[in-house]
Amino acid sequence: MDEKINLTAVSYLNTKPLLYGLELLGLDQTMFNIKLENPSNCAVSLLNGTSTIGLVPVAMIPSIPNASIITDYCIGSDGFVKTVMLFSNTVIDEVNSIFLDNHSRTSAILTRILCEFYWKISPTFINNIEISNVELKANEAALVIGDKSIGLENKYKYAYDLSNIWKEMTGLPFVFAAWITTQKIERQTIETMNKAFELGISKINELVKKLVVPNFDILTYFKENISYRLDNQKKEALSLYWNMGKIK
């Protein structure tokens, strides 16, 4: 076979069914060199040319020259997502400062959109914070994403699921990350990826037996909270998000 393709994926739990499909078909050995990164570094790897394909946060897509979305799959949600959360000990109407997780510009912009258009508040945003180091005071909130958010709803008085708030506001699902390339990819490669992702999702029951996440229902998370198919509603939501977030 030709030289393997460098592929970068998000290192969070929600990506595991997609990666499992690649593994089941042996594509992690034969077709791809797979590297796992935090969301922002997936975009960087495409920009600097170290990856040909990346699972990229959607806020970054318009800023990547020649970027195109490939595959019929994404990291999305349609209602509660459980792992993109705004935590506070103060009701949202009284929040005046929000700490933003430094690993996902997509969720940070979603937070800003919801503050402006849904909650109609104008807090101060504090960027590039390592959330694990933050102790929230009165009138403060923190955006926490990915695996770090699991279990934190018991630590704070208020927990806002941003995907569900978006759904309430727009009636649409949400897309957090999509498979992107800046190069010409053979149609057969894309079809093979689609086949692998479909297989991985169909084997979620098998996959969860290999995973251990204390006090978290992984099966429900994969099957109900994460929505992997990049359908027309998600594409509509993506365009709306870019427009509302003034992302170009």
102 and 212 share a domain?
A: no
Query: Pick from 170, 201, 226: which residue ends a domain?
Result: 170
Question: pLDDT tens-digit profile of 177-235?
Answer: 999 999 999 999 999 999 999 999 999 999 999 998 888 899 999 999 999 999 999 99
64 and 100 share a domain?
A: no
Residue 248 pLDDT class (50, 70, 90 cuts):
confident
Position 129 scores a pLDDT of 67
183 and 231 share a domain?
A: yes
41 and 89 share a domain?
A: no
Query: Pick from 170, 201, 235: which residue ends a domain?
Result: 170
CATH number for the domain harbouring residue 143: 3.40.190.10
150 and 201 share a domain?
A: no
Least-confidence region, from 8-12, 119-123, 172-176: 8-12
Question: pLDDT tens-digit profile of 53-77?
Answer: 999 999 999 999 999 999 999 999 9
Distant-in-sequence, close-in-space partners of 220: CB < 8 Å, separation ≥ 6: none
Q: What percent of the chain has pLDDT over 90?
A: 78
CB neighbourhood size of 3 (10 A):
6
Q: How many domains does the chain have?
A: 2
The better pLDDT of the pair 131, 237 is held by 237
Structural domain boundaries, residue 212: 5-76+173-244
195 and 219 share a domain?
A: yes
Separation CA 241–CA 228 (nearest Å): 18
90 and 67 share a domain?
A: no
140 and 127 share a domain?
A: yes
pTM: 0.93
Query: Pick from 141, 170, 199: which residue ends a domain?
Result: 170
88 and 166 share a domain?
A: yes
Question: pLDDT tens-digit profile of 15-27?
Answer: 999 999 999 999 9
Sign (positive/negative) of CA torsion 111, 74, 30, 186? negative
186 and 121 share a domain?
A: no
